[in-house]
Amino acid sequence: MMSPGQGYGMGSGMMQGRPAMPERDLSADDVRQTLEQQLAWRGNPRLKLGAINEVDEDTVTAEIVTLDGSVVDKLAVDRHTGMMRRVPE
């Protein structure tokens, strides 16, 4: 009998049933390239990237703006994992 937490898919490199994220060191340019690809894939010609800033050794922020420069969304990107979250305004 298996105890809780043991079983298929919980081997090394797994955390809470998901693969562990490899360590990265993303730059502002890496974030810009990724977000430009995502915006192109979504196909909305009225949106573009705005300011992208390296906040500290852990975070890069990026703005999604309209063609006239109005901010639509602001994201914080973890430089080590690539995880993105919205920044409340």
Quick one: DSSP state of residue 11? Answer: S
Q: List, for residues 21-80, the tens digit of each pLDDT value.
A: 566 789 999 999 999 999 999 999 999 999 999 999 999 999 999 999 999 999 999 999
Q: What pLDDT, on a 0 to 100 scale, did the predictor assign at position 16?
A: 60
Return the domain boundaries, the chain. 21-86
Nearest to 39 by CA among 29, 48, 31, 27: 48
Quick one: DSSP state of residue 37? Answer: H
Residue entry with tokens 């994992």: 81
Nearest to 86 by CA among 78, 77, 75: 75
Alpha carbon distance 60, 57 (integer Å): 8
* pTM beyond 0.85, yes or no: no
